[in-house]
Amino acid sequence: MRYVKANQTGIVLFVIASMLTTPWVLFALWLIQLVGLASGGRLNLFVRAAKPFLPREGGETQAAELTRFNNTLAVIFLTLSLLSFALGWSIGGYVFTAMMLAAAGAALLGYCIGCTIYFQYKQLRHKLR
């Protein structure tokens, strides 16, 4: 979980930076999240930067499948945000950016929106079987 929190902190900081400067800061965040997703989290810049400062043993954990699901959601929201800005749909871009900030901020405060979506998705899949 400490690595997940490092990633969420990075997301929040980059989203705030994009809102204070230019929305194109989100492109760097998108790249970081995409590389992290493709590498199973091993090459996530936020995790790698925080790793030397975090305790190595003990602590809460999160299932790799759930982490992958949440990272996929992050990449989807960032992609939609960047596409909106690229197409000149600033309001849509800011809406998706705000959703990303809300999800990462809520997760840092202890409520994982992506986890709730994942649980509902699994429940629906189970009912459909």
pLDDT digits (tens, 9 = 90+) for 62-103: 778 888 999 999 999 999 999 999 999 999 999 999 999 999
Distance CA 82, CA 115 (A): 24
pLDDT tens by residue, 22-75: 999 999 999 999 999 999 888 999 999 988 888 777 667 777 888 899 999 999
pTM for the whole structure: 0.88
Helices (H), 39-112: 45-50, 64-86, 90-108
Helix 90-108 crosses helix 113-128 at what angle (to 10 degrees)? 90
Helix, strand or coil for residue 40? coil
Dig out the tokens for 128 from the structure.
């459909």
